[in-house]
Structure 1
Amino acid sequence: MEFVNYLGQENVVTFFLLLVRTGALMVFFPFFNHMQIPMTIKATLSFMLTLYLFPLATPPANLDLDGINVQYLILEALSELMLGLCVGVLLMLVFGAVQLAGEQISMIMGFSMATVIDPQSGINAPLISNILNLIVLLAFLLFDGHHLVLYFLAYGLEYIPLGGFYPEQNILKYASQGMVNLFLYGFIISFPILALTLMSDLIFGMLMKTMPQFNLLVVGFPIKITIAFVVLMAILAVIVKVFTTLMMRVLNDLPSLFF
């Protein structure tokens, strides 16, 4: 009987909005939205997180128990989805920089036609882009990025009321700067391979002028691929370091943006 009394309108609405917030975590946040994780596992984890975080949650400030309707719940749920979308986009922009670098490297190596299904997004992506994406995802787990995301979710219940989020101007400015960094760091990561392969193209061009019998398709492309792989292995630690620095910067900026 005590449990039935606990299921009042206020607690039900609070639990529903908290469930939407944790569900947005499984939809928009990196690692948690991985396509290889079954939907049943995501739903179960979202429900368990809701049960765990429910004692920390407070009811919406403008909650009117006598006037609750479907429109009110829809607007509050959209606010929670918007919160997950904004945070998820800021985090995924860092992954996007590495993916963009992988696409540029694949194109310069001649692997642009060799596309495979990206297990994280479920779309076709070049081979090198897929490899780099999986490596930085492992780096994200290595420095406990998934735990920091869960900590942000739990800590945010104290400062972001359920159903009370609205994207402010500073968040939009930060997202715009993140889009600029996506292209900037994507080019910076791929620049060593792009520069060396361009130099090899110049050398091959001079060889073809001096030695017309030089077969570029038979000799040139394997050499370019070998150079690109050697340079990629040499700068792989730097790529992970750049990704870790950018991701930690975003994670550290989240409290000041949203709280």
Structure 2
Amino acid sequence: MIPLEFTADQIGQWVGQHLWPLFRIASFMMVIPFIGTQLVPARVRLGLALLMTILVVPMIGEVPQVEALSGDAVVITLQQILIGVGMGFALTALFQLFVVAGQMIAMQMGLGFASMNDPANGVTVPVLSQLYTITITLLYLAMNGHLVAFEVFLESFRTLPIGLEGIGQGGLWMLTHRISWMFVSAMLLALPAVTAVLIVNISFGVMTRAAPQMNIFALGFPIGLIFGLFAIWVLQSNFLPHFHQYTEETFEFMRQLQGVP
């Protein structure tokens, strides 16, 4: 029998061909909203990452041949983690956009005190934000947004192949500016309801100046709350177009992060 002999380069090639894609995929799945939450155990996320890695590796091709404990291997590993976390952050910003919009509306209409625990993130958020979170999660899954997200993410292995090159400084600046996009979009989404409640508060302010003896605060709070709920109900008709637009912008941003025009 001829003994099988494997060189250190071959072993490093096999390990790197599976380990580096695993770092990128696992980092992505640990961050994205619908899988990377506290509701999904870490073992399940790791198992899904391993399964996806096994399916993706045959389509990747050759990976750089470097020593396992060299500085280049550490840089490549960090680049894979950064790519996965960056693209997962883009999806997280999409979901947190509606949470911030719900907080803005709730604070203006007097529902800021009505908070509940968010089991997905482990924090306390207003009830309106939790309602928005449930709504966009169901819409996202119903529109197969998770499949599109995985498709865009897997394109990164072609546009950003495994190597010393990553998203670069320009990609880091894009991720930083994405935070401002989240707050601006949340303000645009919440602006109609906030403006409607502000008009009601201004009206009660004018009434207070005209009739100081009236207890406007006791009367204005429930009326402002009811009018805010009515404004939210009216604005629900435009919820789907806004969600569709922000989702398209998110996927476009993920492609721009990969360097795809």
TM-score w.r.t. the length of structure 2 is 0.85
Deviation (angstroms), 1:205: 2.3
The 3 A distance-change label for structure 1 pair 40 and 5 is farther
1:29 corresponds, among 22, 28, 32, to 32
Q: Distance in 1 between the 2:35 and 2:53 partners?
A: 15
Gaps of 5+ in 1: none
Alignment RMSD: 2.5
Aligned residues: 253
Which letter does structure 2 place at the counterpart of 1:45? Answer: L
Q: Distance in 2 between the 1:127 and 1:165 partners?
A: 44
Question: What are the within-5 Å matches in structure 2 for residues 81-230 of structure 1?
Answer: 81-212=81-212, 214-230=214-230
Residues 30 and 91, structure 1, Cα contact 8 Å, conserved in 2: yes
State the identity %: 19
Deviation (angstroms), 1:244: 1.9
Q: Distance in 2 between the 1:210 and 1:99 partners?
A: 38
Deviation (angstroms), 1:136: 1.7
Q: Distance in 2 between the 1:147 and 1:40 partners?
A: 21
Q: Distance in 1 between the 2:5 and 2:179 partners?
A: 49
The 3 A distance-change label for structure 1 pair 255 and 181 is closer
Q: Distance in 2 between the 1:105 and 1:60 partners?
A: 49
The 3 A distance-change label for structure 1 pair 121 and 163 is farther
Residues 58 and 161, structure 1, Cα contact 8 Å, conserved in 2: no
The 3 A distance-change label for structure 1 pair 244 and 164 is farther
Cross-structure match for 1:50: 53
Q: Distance in 2 between the 1:8 and 1:47 partners?
A: 19
Deviation per residue, 1:96-131 (Å, 9 max, x gap): 332221111111122223322223322222221221
Which letter does structure 2 place at the counterpart of 1:236? Answer: Q
Deviation (angstroms), 1:217: 4.2
Deviation per residue, 1:158-187 (Å, 9 max, x gap): 232224442334424433543332222221
Gaps of 5+ in 2: none
